[in-house]
């Protein structure tokens, strides 16, 4: 995760970690606690896909295979979102972006132009076997988006949401063969960001294998301390 501050005091936070590391889980809670917009590049793509926009249709084939959507498309999409008033005044919790060194460089330039900068990067670490188990067991409610896990948090009735009775579905990229490709892509294209931000003195590492609440508490401490190592 990357913490950025601006002269206006807005906070800009980016979560860094593998697919299944818990970026979305933590960003959702953090966003409420800190009143900072949560921007997930994956959610933006999925929303476009659902609405069958040209951007969504462009991203579809990459997402289904677990490949990254091209940098120029992704950077433009996130840039547009960052320019919206809520992000401008409050900052942002970025989840799933940047995911390549090129995206990180583009983000740095965009922020610099707006008088903002990255203050802190927190990298949420989880072993590969745990990531695979988390992703392949995940089911989501179509109606209210509640997340279940076949082993750790199963619904009371198979394929039905406990909270609202909605239908549960599996993300198409959570199928085992696609999960492995997403992880391979992560190790090749996203992991270099750890060195990239470490060299800038911004990186903080975090054990993402602990339970959700413990990770959340640790994360909050890091953000409140705002002390890059
Ligand atoms: P995206 O939507 O970003 O997916 P991802 O990061 O690959 O994977 P997840 O969202 O599953 O990981 P997460 O870390 O958010 O974990 P979560 O909190 O959900 O990207 C999807 C696709 O879009 C990409 O493959 C690519 O095609 C495209 N894309 C997106 N961004 C892009 C970019 N910047 N550039 C190019 N292409 C891009 O948790 C996972 C599961 O684990 C859940 O079931 C959760 O309940 C559970 N869990 C979480 N934390 C814990 C814990 N501490 N203990 C136990 N279980 C936990
Ligand atoms: Mg996510």
**Residue 5, pLDDT score:** 47
Residue 5 β-bridge partners: 11, 117
**Residue 214, pLDDT score:** 96
Average pLDDT of 66-90?
94
Of 11, 90, 99, 204, the catalytic one is: 99
Of 11, 90, 116, 138, the catalytic one is: 138
Residue 14 β-bridge partners: 2, 94
**Residue 8, pLDDT score:** 42
Q: Which residue's CA is the nearest one to ligand 1's atom 26? A: 68
Q: Ligand 1 pocket test: which of 64, 134, 154 has the largest number of ligand atoms within 8 Å of its C-beta?
A: 134
Average pLDDT of 101-113?
95
For 191, the token pair is 């992991």
Average pLDDT of 45-71?
96
For 51, the token pair is 């609405």
Percentage of residues in the chain having pLDDT higher than 70: 94
Of 11, 90, 182, 204, the catalytic one is: 182
pLDDT at 226 over 70: no
Which residue matches tokens 């239908």? Answer: 167
Nearest ligand to the CA of 26 is 1
Q: How far is the CA of 22 from the centre of ligand 2 (A)?
A: 7
Ligand 1 atom closest to the Cα of residue 124 is 14
Is 182 in the active site?
Answer: yes
Is 23 in the active site?
Answer: yes
Torsion sign across C-alpha atoms 81, 75, 1, 197: negative
Taking the CA atoms of residue 70, residue 53, residue 88 and residue 36 in that order, the dihedral angle to the nearest 10 degrees is -90
Per-residue DSSP letter, 142: T
Torsion sign across C-alpha atoms 57, 72, 15, 63: positive
- Beta carbons of 92 and 36 less than 8 angstroms apart: yes
Beta strands of 41-99 (E only): which ranges?
Answer: 91-95
- Give pLDDT tens digits for 111-158: 999 888 877 888 999 999 999 999 999 999 999 999 999 988 899 998
- Give the global pTM: 0.93
- Give pLDDT tens digits for 157-199: 988 999 999 999 999 999 998 999 999 999 999 999 999 999 9
For 84, the token pair is 């919206």
């Amino acid at each position: 995760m990357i913490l950025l501050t601006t002269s206006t005091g807005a906070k800009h936070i980016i979560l860094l970690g593998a697919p299944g590391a818990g970026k979305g889980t933590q960003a959702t809670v953090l966003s409420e606690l800190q009143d900072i917009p949560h921007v997930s590049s994956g959610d933006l793509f999925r929303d476009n896909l659902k609405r069958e926009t040209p951007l969504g249709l462009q991203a579809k084939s990459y997402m289904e295979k677990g490949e990254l959507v091209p940098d120029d498309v992704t950077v433009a999409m996130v840039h547009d979102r960052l320019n919206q008033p809520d992000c401008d005044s409050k900052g942002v919790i970025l989840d799933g972006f940047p995911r390549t060194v090129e995206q990180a460089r583009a983000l740095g330039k965009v922020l610099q132009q707006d008088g903002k900068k990255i203050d802190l990067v927190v990298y949420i670490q989880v072993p590969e076997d745990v990531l695979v188990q988390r992703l392949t067991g995940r089911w989501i409610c179509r109606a209210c988006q509640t997340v279940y896990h076949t082993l750790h948090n199963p619904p009371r009735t198979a394929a039905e949401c406990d909270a609202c009775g909605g239908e549960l579905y599996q993300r198409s990229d959570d199928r085992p063969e696609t999960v492995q490709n997403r992880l391979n892509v992560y190790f090749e294209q996203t992991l270099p960001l750890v060195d990239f931000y470490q060299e800038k003195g911004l990186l903080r590492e975090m054990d993402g294998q602990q339970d959700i609440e413990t990770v959340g508490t640790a994360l909050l401490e890091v953000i409140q301390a705002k002390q890059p190592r």
